[in-house]
């Protein structure tokens, strides 16, 4: 059996390099050209002139986490979108390759969800002074993480390949639909006990937007390259397993 | 199974089997005309209700389990001061009770179908598979509602008799109904999935709780404000119930669409 | 140092460990996944070698 040369597999190493370059560039620009965001007002109407600009607020370093945190979160969600799309494709076409693709996409999603969680935790620990609070976005991501972990527990609990693929596809689809609803409900239902405590750091200036976008595209490239590498390995493993059962018969 | 219960394995008049043959019998005289979808639905739902009416297996176990959860709540709150008011957390406790009890019921709702290979029997009948979903989900809604009707007054009696309930407490029925429907809908799909897996009980909980989380969040918010009342109660109650209803519609629709694939696998 | 400047930069130093930790942890998670991929690859190669060996032994018989 000769392996079909796949355009994506040939692209993957290049994308890995591109992703590494982009995220490195984003990392450097993040700490050099992007200005620090302004936090609380200085006491007693204090002001100072730094680099020809009047500064009246405290400058925050903690927001630097955001430049990687947000792109990573977006990437994880894109990966989950792929899980759902491959799930639908599997249910329609009944080709086990789609199941493998969905599984690997979910693995990548889990990696990026974990990255989102750890970076978010660090920011939260410094800014809010707690390790955990039931804040809408935080809670949603926690639930999302549990859903993705549940996806793998479900896969491990079924022996029959066809059935495993079908159940995993269905759960992947329903989990992907559940996540936005979860975000919407936790944000839109006013909570009586706890005020919603997040600042929206919208209105990023261009020097801030550049590292953010670079990081976003860089992580897309990295995620895709990792996905292809893993898929290639998993496909090989599946072929090997099929070969083994063939020989044993 | 205990000896007092009629064992379906021994008696030929297994409720599930009779329903299947009944559904099949209606097909034979006029092979070209199937019974209407609504009739199929009624037969399948009637089968589950009749089975429950004879064995009372689900309601007894769910009811006893609910009471046990109440005892655990009572123990958890025992060390609180004498004047401790449960009312602010009552909404949350009620939903914890419902989620745990529903998990038990959902687990059982398919396991007996599996034991008797009754599901295979139903699958032989040429009916729309999503009808099975609707019938099962309706049966689960009914069982859950019955358990709620029994345990919620008990909850009031045990925990809230000293609290000043708001005048709007009757409104709590709305989130209870919406939440129960959503739990049964999503839960029926997941129970069908997990009945064929290793360690089905645990797996159902692992998949069910995160998936139903948005609904739970909205329903706890709506139930709590309904019990507590207050000036701006409607500002929370309205959106919470509306979003819970939206969750119900979307998730039940998706479950209904996916059900054919699941049950055929 | 100017007290106002000190106030402006007051949160920078305390925040630095958390910022560094956030980036380091993200990097670690990513590397851990690379490790998973590489280990999987190695295991597959080993299985392939075992299969080859078994086939060769069969042919010799």
pLDDT (tens, 9 = 90+) of chain B, 265 residues, equals 344 444 444 434 444 444 444 444 454 444 556 678 888 888 888 888 888 888 888 889 999 999 999 999 999 888 887 778 888 889 999 999 999 999 999 988 887 777 777 777 777 777 778 888 999 999 999 999 999 999 999 999 988 888 888 888 888 999 999 999 999 999 999 999 998 888 778 899 999 999 999 999 999 999 999 998 877 788 888 889 999 999 999 999 999 999 989 888 7
Is the confidence at residue A201, as pLDDT, over 90?
A: no
Cβ pair A59:C11 closer than 8 A: yes
Q: Which residues in chain A are closer than 8 Å to B258, comparing Cβ atoms? A: 91, 170, 173-174
Predicted local confidence at residue C29, as pLDDT: 95
What residues contact residue A245 under an 8 Å CB cut-off, 6+ apart?
A: none
Q: Give a yes or no: residue A162 inside a domain.
A: yes
Give CA–CA dist B120/B139, Å, rounded: 19
Question: Could you tell me which of B151, B208, B155, B220 has the C-alpha nearest to residue B183?
Answer: B208
Task: Report the number of distinct structural domains present in chain A.
Answer: 1
DSSP A53: E
Cβ pair A174:B224 closer than 8 A: no
Q: Chains meeting A at 3+ CB pairs closer than 8 A?
A: B, C
**CA distances in angstroms from A85 to A11, A69, B44, listed in the order given:** 21, 25, 33
pTM, full prediction: 0.86
Give CA–CA dist B120/B124, Å, rounded: 6
Query: From the CB coordinates, do chains B and C have 3 or more pairs under 8 Å?
Result: no
Domain region containing C61: 33-61
Domain region containing A129: 7-40+55-194+205-248
The minimal CB distance from A233 to the residues C21, C22, C44 is found for C44
Q: Give a yes or no: residue C19 inside a domain.
A: no
Predicted local confidence at residue A5, as pLDDT: 64
Predicted local confidence at residue B112, as pLDDT: 76
Q: Give a yes or no: residue C8 inside a domain.
A: no
Window C:2-21, CB contacts with A under 8 Å: 2, 4-5, 7-12, 14-16, 18-19, 21
Name the percent of chain A lying above pLDDT 90.
50
Q: Give a yes or no: residue A14 inside a domain.
A: yes
Q: Give a yes or no: residue A33 inside a domain.
A: yes
User: Coil, helix or strand for B149?
Assistant: helix
Window A:69-108, CB contacts with B under 8 Å: 91
Give CA–CA dist B136/B180, Å, rounded: 14
Q: Which residues in chain A are closer than 8 Å to C11, comparing Cβ atoms? A: 39, 58-62
Per-residue pLDDT band at A248 (split at 50, 70, 90): confident
Nearest CA in chain A to C31: A111
Q: Give the phi and the psi of residue A117 in degrees, each rounded to 5.
A: -65, -45
The minimal CB distance from A48 to the residues C2, C16, C19 is found for C2
Question: Could you tell me which of A106, A77, A66, A85 has the C-alpha nearest to residue A180?
Answer: A77
Q: How many CB atoms lie within 10 A of CB B69?
A: 20
Q: Give a yes or no: residue C17 inside a domain.
A: no
Is residue A66 a contact partner of residue A37, using CB atoms and an 8 Å limit?
no
Q: Which residues in chain A are closer than 8 Å to C34, comparing Cβ atoms? A: 226
Task: Report the number of distinct structural domains present in chain C.
Answer: 1
Rounded to a whole number, what is the distance in Å from the CA of C50 to chain A's nearest CA?
A: 10
Give CA–CA dist C27/C18, Å, rounded: 14
Long-range (24+ apart) CB contacts under 8 A made by A233-239 are A233/C37, A233/C40, A233/C41, A233/C44, A234/A100, A234/A103, A234/A104, A234/C40, A235/A97, A235/A100, A236/C44, A236/C48, A237/C40, A237/C44, A237/C47, A238/A96, A238/A100, A239/A1
pLDDT digits (tens, 9 = 90+) for A5-24: 678 888 889 999 999 999 99
Predicted local confidence at residue C49, as pLDDT: 92
Predicted local confidence at residue C40, as pLDDT: 94
Is residue A220 a contact partner of residue A19, using CB atoms and an 8 Å limit?
yes
- The mean per-residue pLDDT over the stretch A59-85 comes to 90
Domain ranges, ordered by start, for chain B:
15-25+35-264
H-assigned helices in C1-61:
3-8, 12-60
pLDDT digits (tens, 9 = 90+) for A107-164: 999 999 999 999 988 988 888 888 888 877 788 889 999 999 999 999 999 999 999 9
Rounded to a whole number, what is the distance in Å from the CA of A75 to chain C's nearest CA?
A: 13
When comparing pLDDT for B145 and C6, which is higher?
Answer: B145
The minimal CB distance from A153 to the residues B206, B224, B261 is found for B206
Q: Which residues in chain A are closer than 8 Å to C37, comparing Cβ atoms? A: 226, 229-230, 233
pLDDT digits (tens, 9 = 90+) for A27-67: 998 888 877 777 777 777 777 777 677 777 777 888 888 88
H-assigned helices in chain B:
15-25, 37-55, 57-77, 87-115, 118-124, 129-155, 173-194, 200-228, 233-264
The minimal CB distance from B221 to the residues A91, A149, A189 is found for A189
């Amino acid at each position: 059996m000769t392996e079909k040369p796949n355009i994506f597999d040939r692209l993957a190493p290049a994308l890995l390099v591109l992703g590494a370059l982009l995220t490195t560039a984003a990392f450097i620009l993040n700490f050099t050209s992007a200005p620090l965001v302004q936090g609380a007002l200085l006491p007693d109407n204090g002001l100072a002139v730094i680099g020809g600009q009047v500064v009246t607020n405290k400058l925050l370093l903690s927001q630097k986490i955001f430049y990687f945190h947000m792109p990573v979160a977006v990437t994880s969600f894109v990966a989950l979108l792929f899980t759902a799309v491959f799930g639908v494709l599997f249910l329609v076409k009944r080709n086990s390759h789609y199941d493998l693709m969905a599984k690997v996409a979910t693995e990548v999603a889990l990696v990026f969800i974990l990255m989102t969680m750890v970076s978010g935790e660090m920011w939260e620990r410094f800014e809010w002074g707690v390790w955990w609070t039931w804040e809408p976005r935080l809670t949603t991501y926690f639930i999302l993480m549990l859903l993705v972990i549940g996806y793998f527990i479900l896969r491990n609990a079924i022996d029959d390949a066809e059935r495993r693929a079908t159940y995993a596809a269905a759960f992947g689809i329903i989990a992907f639909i559940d996540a936005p609803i979860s975000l919407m409900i936790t944000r839109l239902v006013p909570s009586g006990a706890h005020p919603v405590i997040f600042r929206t750091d919208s209105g990023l200036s261009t020097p801030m937007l550049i590292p953010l976008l670079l990081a976003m595209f860089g992580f897309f490239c990295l995620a895709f390259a990792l996905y292809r590498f893993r898929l290639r390995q998993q496909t090989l493993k599946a072929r090997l397993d099929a070969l083994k059962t063939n020989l044993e018969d | 199974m205990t000896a007092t219960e009629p064992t379906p394995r021994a008696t030929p008049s297994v409720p599930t089997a009779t329903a299947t043959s009944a559904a099949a019998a209606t097909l034979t005289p006029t092979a070209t005309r199937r019974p209407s979808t609504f009739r199929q639905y009624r037969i399948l739902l009637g089968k589950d209700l009749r089975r429950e009416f004879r064995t009372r297996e689900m309601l007894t176990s769910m009811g006893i389990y609910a009471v046990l959860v109440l005892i655990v709540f009572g123990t958890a709150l025992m060390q609180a001061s004498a004047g401790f008011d449960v009312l602010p957390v009552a909404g949350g406790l009620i939903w914890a009770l419902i989620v745990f009890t529903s998990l038990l019921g959902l687990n059982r709702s398919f396991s007996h179908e599996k034991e008797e290979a009754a599901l295979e029997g139903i699958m032989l009948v040429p009916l729309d598979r999503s009808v099975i979903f609707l019938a099962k989900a309706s049966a689960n809604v009914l069982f859950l509602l019955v358990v709620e009707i029994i345990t919620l007054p008990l909850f009031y009696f045990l925990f809230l008799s000293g609290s000043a309930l708001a005048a709007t407490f009757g409104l709590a029925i709305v989130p209870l109904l919406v939440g129960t429907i959503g739990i049964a809908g999503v839960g029926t799909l997941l129970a069908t999935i997990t009945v064929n897996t290793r360690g089905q009980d645990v797996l159902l909980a692992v998949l069910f709780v995160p998936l139903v989380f948005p609904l739970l969040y909205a329903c706890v918010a709506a139930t709590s404000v309904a019990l507590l009342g207050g000036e701006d109660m409607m500002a929370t109650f309205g959106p919470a119930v509306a979003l819970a209803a939206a969750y119900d519609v979307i998730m039940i629709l998706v479950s209904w669409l996916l059900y054919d694939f699941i049950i055929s696998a | 140092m100017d007290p106002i400047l000190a106030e402006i930069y007051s949160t920078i130093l305390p925040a630095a460990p958390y910022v560094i930790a956030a980036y380091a942890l993200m990097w670690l998670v990513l590397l851990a996944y690379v490790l998973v991929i590489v280990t999987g690859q190695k295991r597959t190669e080993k299985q392939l070698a075992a299969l080859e060996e078994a086939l060769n032994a069969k042919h010799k018989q």
